[in-house]
């Protein structure tokens, strides 16, 4: 594999830092790593393969000789700078929601729709965290038995909101333990020892944007607009790892034993389902494992095509940074053939 | 209303203490209040209407002249002592799971099936906390449009497990903030900053007992064995208040506006659904409000009979102590007529 030049846009953010880590951990063939951020964060240093790399200010001219530009600095930055990267000859892998539903932009999870990655026009979108772990778990069921309906309720960690939200949870928790007044800045309500049934803004249909992302993105990635999917997204006082309670209704009856056998063989999936030893996916396990963890697999007792499962993944890694790097690996692998 | 003699069995537990509080707050017509507990807890004092009442040791002979015996000391205590209370002439209102599925024992939520309370043979069962708040929210939908299916995922607070679990969450949280090792005794895994998709033991069908309680009890209370219901119960790092993400499929189409109008008029329900001002039910609100709080009401975009909602209630009060006292009020009210 030839070495390539990589730019990380939003390098000092929670996901940007994970991108740099993931590139190192996976021995990604990096020739030059260019770290980009806002003027405020430029001048900081991040470690990569034992070297300190200075963060530069993002400008239109930051993308000379860049092969892959990994964006994770929010939608408005992606909308403003992605075309400059493409014009300079880079492939943009964008972690924001800016282009996800754009017909010209593939939305890719390498375990699910790798073929789509090759149909890009310069930009490939990385799906939302809560969608990625869902579709990785759904794909083998879909291929084997078809999926008619999906009903999902999420338990999402604060790191999905960013570093400030992690600080807010920790500070509020400390305040409550010390019987002091809590401060709120990031979330509209206390997040410590509480559950917020709101992630992102509300749309006119009374769903949140986070819920609508799961609905729209799942259909696009699965190439199936007929799947009936509904979602409820909730924020929980957890630092890392999103959990999802997922109910599926399949076209054909699928037995749990065969599904377990399939999951055991799937790359990117870790089956954690030994209930009599209290083994099932836990949010805190996502700090150790990069795989999408699946457990609590069981048949609905009332509907013969119904399956319940519990899905956990690290929202900053498989839900963001790792998936983006895997997309770059996919394209690179193909170039090598 | 004539005054009656009340015994609270398990008076020093988390629910028992709430029972005493609720009796006082609601000006329940108490002549004598007898507080009963294990030998270990006897000799403690609890306050009731400004007086200190000593806790006595529970024995077979504790129920002389008692009109209502409110039990909340676990299944085995209920099984051992309920008949002694009945023989002594008391009506037992039992908060344990001992008799809930017994055909001879009504399972009652006063807002839902008050008529059943009067069919008792000495014992009335109080449903499980997660069932009570669910059926209170479902009843008006059921009456208006019929319910075919229910898919529920819960976010249950640690107080449902008892006082030791509250301590465990607080101690683990402190340990993590201070970068110390956590201790586990009550739960099989760390509960601080984590989500556990297990409540109670697993049954052979891979559902937990908590999940099966919701399934069986809902059908019994609603007098409808044909409702297709499936449940996933998860424990969250919250102190008080259970939250539930509920998906319903109705027989007839039900519009959200009419449903809101119905909820606004229902006693025992507080509609909290003003999303554009970030108002929806929160677990921490259950420390203030006794009502079952309902919000995030919206139509499924894919299935025309589908409705999503978010339900929160205080698991120690409406989910246990308050419901038990309301059952006693119901019986007393009728005796007065």
Do A154 and A137 form a contact (C-beta atoms < 8 A)? no
CA B191 from chain center: how many Å? 22
pLDDT band at A252; cut points 50, 70, 90:
very high
CA A115 from chain center: how many Å? 19
**294-333 of A, contacting B, C-beta below 8 A:** 295-303, 306, 308, 310
Q: Which residues of chain B have pLDDT under 50?
A: 335-337
Name every residue whose Cβ is closer than 8 Å to that of residue A103 and which is 6 or more positions away in sequence. none
Q: Which fold has domain A131-314?
A: Dihydrodipicolinate Reductase; domain 2 (3.30.360)
The two counts, helices (H) then strands (E), for chain A are 8, 13
**pLDDT tens readout for residues B39-72:** 999 999 999 999 999 999 999 999 999 999 999 9
Terminal Cα-to-Cα distance of chain A (whole angstroms): 10
Looking at residue B1, its pLDDT comes to: 59
pLDDT band at A334; cut points 50, 70, 90:
low
Looking at residue B334, its pLDDT comes to: 59
Mean pLDDT of the region A230-243: 98
Contacts of residue A194 in chain B, CB cutoff 8 Å?
A: 238, 282-284
B131-315 CATH, one of 1.10.8.420, 3.40.309.10, 3.30.360.10, 3.40.50.1820: 3.30.360.10
pLDDT of residue A336 exceeding 90, the answer is no
Looking at residue A2, its pLDDT comes to: 84
Mean pLDDT of the region A122-150: 98
* Residue spans in chain A of domains classed CATH 3.40.50.720: 4-126+320-336
Measured distance CA(A15)–CA(B281) in Å, rounded:
31
Measured distance CA(A253)–CA(A246) in Å, rounded:
17
Do B227 and B149 form a contact (C-beta atoms < 8 A)? yes
Min distance B191 CA to chain A CA atoms (Å) = 10
Looking at residue B10, its pLDDT comes to: 97
Among B130, B134, B150, B151, the residue to mutate for chain A (most A Cβ within 10 A) = B151
Q: Under an 8 A CB cutoff, do B280 and A197 touch?
A: yes
Min distance B211 CA to chain A CA atoms (Å) = 11
Q: Which fold has domain A4-126+320-336?
A: Rossmann fold (3.40.50)
* Residue spans in chain B of domains classed CATH 3.30.360.10: 131-315
* Residue spans in chain A of domains classed CATH 3.30.360.10: 131-314
**pLDDT tens readout for residues B190-205:** 999 999 999 999 999 9
Decide if domain B4-127+320-336 falls under CATH 3.40.50.720.
yes
């Amino acid at each position: 594999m030839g070495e390539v030049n990589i730019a990380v846009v939003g390098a000092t953010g929670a996901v940007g830092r994970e991108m740099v880590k993931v590139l190192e951990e996976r021995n990604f063939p990096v020739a030059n790593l260019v770290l980009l951020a806002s003027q405020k964060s430029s001048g900081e240093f991040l470690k990569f393969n034992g070297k300190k790399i200075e963060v530069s200010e993002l400008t239109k001219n930051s993308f000379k000789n860049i092969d892959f530009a990994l964006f994770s600095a929010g939608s408005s930055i992606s909308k403003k700078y992605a075309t400059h990267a493409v014009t300079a000859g880079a492939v943009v892998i964008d972690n924001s929601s800016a282009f996800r539903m754009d017909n010209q932009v593939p939305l890719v999870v390498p375990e699910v729709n790798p073929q789509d990655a090759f149909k890009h026009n310069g930009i490939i979108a990385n799906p939302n965290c809560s969608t990625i772990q869902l579709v990785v778990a759904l794909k083998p069921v879909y291929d084997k038995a078809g999926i008619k309906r999906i009903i999902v309720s999420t338990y999402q960690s604060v790191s999905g909101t960013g570093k400030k939200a992690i600080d807010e949870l920790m500070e509020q928790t400390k305040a409550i333990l010390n019987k002091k007044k809590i401060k709120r800045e990031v979330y509209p309500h206390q997040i410590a020892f509480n559950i917020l049934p709101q992630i992102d803004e509300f749309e006119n249909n009374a769903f949140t944007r986070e819920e609508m992302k799961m609905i729209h993105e799942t259909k696009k990635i699965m190439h199936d607009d007929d799947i009936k999917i509904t979602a409820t997204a909730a924020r929980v006082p957890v630092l890392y790892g999103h959990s999802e309670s997922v109910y599926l209704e399949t076209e054909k009856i699928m037995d749990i034993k065969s599904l377990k056998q399939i999951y055991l063989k799937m790359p990117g999936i870790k089956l954690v389902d030994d209930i009599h030893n209290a083994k099932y996916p836990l949010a805190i396990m996502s700090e150790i494992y990069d795989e999408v963890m699946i457990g609590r697999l069981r048949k609905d007792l009332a509907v013969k095509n119904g399956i319940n499962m519990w899905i956990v993944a690290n929202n900053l890694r498989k839900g963001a940074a790792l998936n983006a790097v895997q997309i770059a690996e996919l394209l690179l692998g193909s170039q090598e053939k």
